Structure 1
Amino acid sequence: MAGPGVSRRRMLGWMAAAGAAGVAGAATFGTRLAAAVPAAEVVTRPEIRQLSDGQRTRFFNAVKTLKNNNAVNNQYNQFVAVHYNNQTAGHGVPAFLPWHREYLRLFEAALQKIDPTVVLPYWDWSRDSQAPERSVIFSSAYFGGNGAGSNRCVTSGAFAGWQVRIPNQRCLQRQFNGGSTIGSWYSPGMIENLLNTNRTSYDQFRRAIEGSPHASVHVNIGGDMSQMYSTNDPLDWVHHAFIDLLWAEWQARNPSLANTYQGSTSTLLRPFGVTVASTLDTRSLGYTYARWSGSSSPA
């Protein structure tokens, strides 16, 4: 079954969009170094509500600097293009989790070139699952709320007036699936159950998390988030950081499966040119997460 807040037809429709043709021009943001990060330099990614006002402002400012609305081919748009151009490489396939882990780390590294104090936060949307539209995440102090007017433009929050260029130039859009409300998502208890019951193989877990838990957040927020150019909306980064956290938590709970994959771990991730194996340990990429459970995750 598809789970709360999204029909199976709509969930599969969002995932099937990965077969659509992408736009031209892959990002040229470079690749990471192959060497593991020294243990002393490993940072812990926080839940976004754990950030101080100043830390949150620095994170948002770094994202805005990467974007620079006045530049057509800015680095932020290049990241969006990479996601859009490589849809089939990172969605509906075993590479879903390692592909996005690498993608997130490259984005975080780009932000850190702007401000070395920035660490990519995650958004534990399970804590908002039963009335998502009431979350502080959608307030003016964070990402702003529902789109307004006939074009559903985001007019509040840190990214009010944000302009996108993929697939065409226009405003950043959101369109909550309930009109003024957002359909429910997986609760902490449901996520806990998913972590505990999908323990047979990597691909069993990957399929379970990529389905409704991941897709319903995209579909129910709507607008850009419901499309394969979802990274137009900065919400997508913190959403996927939580998906990455859940994979890391599953790895920690299942050490015998932590380095497994559905296929060869020597497979190269397109277009990054790094192997699946190089993504399996977050510490080697320079970050980690605090352990998560349905009763301990920060609100």
Structure 2
Amino acid sequence: MAGEGADASLHLEMQGTGQHMARILSCGSPTKDSLAGNRDGAPVKSDAHILIVDDDKGIRDLLQEFFQKRGLHTSVAADGTEMETILRRSHVDLIVLDVMLPGKSGLELCRDLRAQYSTPIIMLTAVTETTDRVVGLEMGADDYVPKPFDPRELLARIRAVLRRNGAAEPKRATTKQLYRFAGWTMDCSRRRLTAPDDVRVELTMAEFNLLQTFVKSAGRVLTRDQLIELSGGDSDYSFDRSIDILVSRLRRKMEDDPKTPKLILTVRSGGYQFLPETTSE
């Protein structure tokens, strides 16, 4: 249906048990601004490649058309097998991954992806399934969007994640980019973390952003709310355990003994404190 407004107005409604029903409520004609991303958030590079993994063909087709009209190259997959085929043959900048999939679930696929890739992942979860969101974050997801959702919200989340992950148009660096602490090297321009034994440690986008916040605020006690805001609050990690989960993931990757941390200290009734002395270049 054509509308008179300048912006497209789409909405997804998911109903039923075990499957999702997608319905276009209204759709206006996109303008040049909306195609360029000016109305949906800051533009990302034109060749950004998004992979949507959902078993509902209606949702896949609708989102693919919606995103491609707004300048994002978009591929779709119905399950983990199709997802792996696409990942083997082409570079993907971000994966939108539904929790409920045939065969391996989205949570299982998220875990498998994190063992091989650092590609950002946005999970699609049912509104009431807080457990799915917590487990998804623990397995390495970077963000989540609850169902039912508006495609414009998902697009805004995608753009935000791509900007933070370095897939946006580059900006001139105005701050320090290289940090050293306790034998570790953190290269913010390349988004790389190197261990004292010179081995690169893979971090998700959310893990890297949180560690960068700690490093830049070394010695300070930061509350969870401060960490969410400083690490990029638009990721919507707003439920109670999100920062705790990310800290736990960093400790598993960086501490000799995660149960007795020497890098990131828990401050009772305060938050967290990054202990090592840090230098920057």
After TM superposition, the score normalised by the length of structure 1 is 0.23
Considering fraction of residues, name the structure with more helix: 1
**Which structure has the bigger radius of gyration?**
2
After TM superposition, the score normalised by the length of structure 2 is 0.25
Considering fraction of residues, name the structure with more strand: 2
